[in-house]
């Protein structure tokens, strides 16, 4: 049963209200209380970064799910974020812009995944396990490369480098750029909503309905990779947002790209803000890296979705 | 020649080093219902895919729609001309039947989706998720989806493979109501074919083929040539005999 009519409107209202409440809480709560300067200089940029990165990661996951026709695809699980962090580390060592390195690494990993997954994607039988495993191995290779790069990173840059591996929003800059990019990405998806919905029926089915499947898939690959790259350049490797948010929306009954294109980034922003709030508050005055918090939330959910999809 | 919707010229299809169809020169027009017959693995699905313009392992020769080669058709124009139903749909994402039919529309002002579902005994499925349908239900929905596309040329790969006898008859009656379209489908039940098809295209498995009106093609000798066993007609029904 799809969600529609008044129930869809009600759900949209609840989603927006919940995200807004989380945003307010994240800006207002924390050590130091309601100090205006603290709020403006520290908490607001951090919350803005969480919003932008969360929205980008959710959109990246949504696009990868369409591209790979697999509801469990996610930039972290499929190695795209890993590619971005390796690219970012290389850029850090070479003195190139982080964002270019991360975007290049993400795009490289995305193209590699598509090339490796070609046969799995072409097969008419259910090849989702093969696809996910291929992605997981790519992520594992990226993780190993990142570790190798860390061993040759000079000490004065080590702390910044470790940042990419864990995923952390403290001191994150560039939230507004992420937010603008997420907005553009959402608009691109929304403007192609009918084509994207048709692509979910299968690439051959979409081609039979007259869709330019190849061009659409290139667009999705580039957009998903750039979004993951920008998110990683801003906050490091934070996983599972792109998986959890669209999947939960689908479980509730949101099926169309018309809604998923805006509900995913809103939900992704809310989830990352909540996870970051938890990272700040749970063991206060100490802080946990939000990447670890998200993995603790996301990995069990991933296993849950996987078991559910196997039924 | 006049009114031919689809035409093949010297179409040769092969797979795994084997020739499936050799030098097929054939055409079909609106109002005709062609059934492709042949034993398993003779290339019925491959032929239907080639007629639909989909990728096949090996092909030579040309297929043209309305006198223009397939390659000259833009994807949207092709979608308005031909629809194709594969043997099975591999669904990965939840979507309601109603939405599926909406997404299929390529020709505005085509048939009413509700009426299509009703004609295929699928009206009660409109709100259901395609992932939760039975094989037979999913297939009838796929047939409705194909008609909803609005294309005059409909290519159906074993449209009654998963249907119970009552639904087989219902699908047969529905196909006959699509009088203005050109249908090409594959099937195995000779009596079902006799009740639906106006023409038959028989594939012999060695590349050989024979095409013609159903009355001529469904004869004891020709059925034996296709299926390799003996047939006789009793009370208007075909029976296989030992």
pLDDT digits (tens, 9 = 90+) for B5-38: 999 999 999 998 899 999 999 999 999 999 999 9
Question: Do residue A125 and residue B90 have CB atoms under 8 angstroms apart?
Answer: yes
**Region A292-301 average pLDDT:** 91
Q: Where are the domains of chain A?
A: 5-310
Nearest to A210 among B75, B84, B86 (CB): B75
Answer for the pair A88, A98: CB distance below 8 angstroms, yes or no. Answer: yes
The whole-angstrom separation of Cα A306 and Cα B111 is: 39
Question: Do residue A250 and residue B103 have CB atoms under 8 angstroms apart?
Answer: no
CA-based nearest residue to A75, from A36, A27, A100, A107? A107
Contacts of A7 in chain B (CB under 8 A): none
B108 Cβ under 8 Å from any chain A Cβ: no
Answer for the pair A62, A242: CB distance below 8 angstroms, yes or no. Answer: yes
Nearest to B96 among A2, A128, A209 (CB): A2
Nearest to B103 among A1, A198, A207 (CB): A198
Smallest CA–CA separation between A197 and chain B, in Å? Answer: 8
CB pairs A-B closer than 8 Å: 69
Phi, psi for residue A192 in degrees, rounded to 5: -110, 25
Chain B 58-87, residues with CB within 8 Å of chain A CB atoms: 74-80, 83-84, 86
Q: Report helix, strand or coil for A11.
A: helix
Question: ω before A189 within 30° of 0 (cis)?
Answer: no
pLDDT of residue A155: 82
Question: Which residues of chain A are at the B interface, by a Cβ-Cβ cutoff of 8 Å?
Answer: 1-2, 69-71, 124-126, 128, 194, 197-198, 200-202, 204-205, 207-212, 250, 255-256
Query: Which tens digit of pLDDT belongs to each residue from A171-227?
Result: 788 899 999 999 999 999 999 999 999 999 998 999 999 999 989 999 999 999 999
Smallest CA–CA separation between B3 and chain A, in Å? Answer: 23
**How many other CB atoms are found less than 10 A from the CB of residue A147?**
11
Q: Could you name the CATH architecture of A5-310?
A: Orthogonal Bundle (1.10)
Answer for the pair B203, B36: CB distance below 8 angstroms, yes or no. Answer: yes
Q: For residue B53, give the chain A residue with the closest CA.
A: A208
Q: For residue B101, give the chain A residue with the closest CA.
A: A198
Q: For residue A257, give the chain B residue with the closest CA.
A: B95
**How many other CB atoms are found less than 10 A from the CB of residue B119?**
20
**How many other CB atoms are found less than 10 A from the CB of residue B16?**
8
Query: Which tens digit of pLDDT belongs to each residue from A6-23?
Result: 999 999 999 999 999 999
Domains of chain B, first to last: 4-241 (3.40.50.300)
Q: Provide ipTM, 2 decimals.
A: 0.93
Q: Is the pTM of this model over 0.90?
A: yes
Question: Do residue A71 and residue B92 have CB atoms under 8 angstroms apart?
Answer: yes
Number of residues written out for chain A: 311
Nearest to A69 among B76, B88, B92 (CB): B92
pLDDT of residue A122: 64
Question: Do residue B95 and residue A211 have CB atoms under 8 angstroms apart?
Answer: no
The whole-angstrom separation of Cα A291 and Cα A272 is: 10
Report which secondary-structure segment, H or E, holds B19. strand B18-29
The whole-angstrom separation of Cα A86 and Cα A115 is: 19
pLDDT of residue A127: 58
The whole-angstrom separation of Cα A299 and Cα A249 is: 17
Nearest to A1 among B80, B100, B129 (CB): B129
Query: Which tens digit of pLDDT belongs to each residue from A54-107?
Result: 999 999 999 999 998 888 899 998 999 999 999 988 988 888 888 899 999 999
**Could you identify the residue written with the tokens 């709030």?**
A277
């Amino acid at each position: 049963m799809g969600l529609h009519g008044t129930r869809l409107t009600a759900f949209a209202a609840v989603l927006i209200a919940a995200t807004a409440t989380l945003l307010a809480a994240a800006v207002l709560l924390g050590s130091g209380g309601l100090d205006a300067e603290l709020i403006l200089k520290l908490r607001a940029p951090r919350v803005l970064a969480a919003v932008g990165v969360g929205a980008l990661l959710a959109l990246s996951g949504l696009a990868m799910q369409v591209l790979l026709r697999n509801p469990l695809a996610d930039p972290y699980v499929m190695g795209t974020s890993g590619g971005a962090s390796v690219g970012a580390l290389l850029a850090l060592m070479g003195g190139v812009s982080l964002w270019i390195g991360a975007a290049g690494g993400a795009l490289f990993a995305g193209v590699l995944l598509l090339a490796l997954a070609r046969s799995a994607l072409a097969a008419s039988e259910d090849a989702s396990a093969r696809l996910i495993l291929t992605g997981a191995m790519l992520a594992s290779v990226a993780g190993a490369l990142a570790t190798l790069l860390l061993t040759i990173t000079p000490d004065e840059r080590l702390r910044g480098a470790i940042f990419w591996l864990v995923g952390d929003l403290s001191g994150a800059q560039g939230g507004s750029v992420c937010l603008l990019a997420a907005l553009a990405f959402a608009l691109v998806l929304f403007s192609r909503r009918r084509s994207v919905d048709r692509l979910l029926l299968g690439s051959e089915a979409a081609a039979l309905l007259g869709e330019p499947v190849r061009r659409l898939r290139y667009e999705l690959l580039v957009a998903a990779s750039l979004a993951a790259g920008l998110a990683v350049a801003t906050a490091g490797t934070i996983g599972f947002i792109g998986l959890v948010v669209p999947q939960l929306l689908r479980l509730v009954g949101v099926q169309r790209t018309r809604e998923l294109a805006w509900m995913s980034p809103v939900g992704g922003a809310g989830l990352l803000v909540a996870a970051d709030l938890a990272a700040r508050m749970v063991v206060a005055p100490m802080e946990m890296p939000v990447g670890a918090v998200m993995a603790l939330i996301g990995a069990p959910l991933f296993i849950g979705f996987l078991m559910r999809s196997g039924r | 020649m006049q009114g031919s919707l689809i035409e093949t010229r010297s179409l040769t299809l092969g797979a795994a080093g084997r020739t499936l169809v050799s030098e097929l020169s054939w055409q079909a027009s609106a109002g005709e219902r062609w059934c492709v017959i042949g034993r398993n693995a003779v290339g019925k699905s491959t032929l239907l895919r080639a007629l639909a313009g989909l990728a096949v392992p090996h092909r030579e020769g040309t297929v043209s729609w309305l006198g223009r080669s397939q390659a000259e058709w833009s994807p949207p124009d092709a979608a308005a001309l031909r629809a194709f139903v594969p043997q099975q749909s591999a669904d990965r994402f939840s979507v309601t039947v109603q939405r599926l039919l909406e997404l299929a529309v390529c020709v505005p002002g085509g048939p009413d989706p509700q009426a299509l579902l009703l004609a295929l005994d699928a009206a009660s499925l409109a709100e259901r998720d395609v992932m939760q349908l039975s094989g037979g239900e999913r297939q009838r929905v796929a047939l409705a989806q194909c008609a909803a596309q609005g294309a005059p040329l409909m290519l159906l790969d074993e449209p009654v493979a998963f249907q119970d006898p009552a639904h087989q008859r219902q699908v047969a009656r529905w196909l006959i109501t699509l009088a203005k379209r050109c249908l090409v489908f594959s099937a195995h039940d000779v009596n079902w074919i006799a009740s639906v098809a106006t023409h038959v295209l028989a594939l012999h498995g060695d590349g050989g083929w024979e095409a013609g009106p159903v009355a001529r093609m469904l004869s004891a000798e020709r059925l034996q040539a296709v299926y390799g066993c003996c047939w006789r007609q009793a009370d208007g029904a075909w029976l296989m005999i030992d």
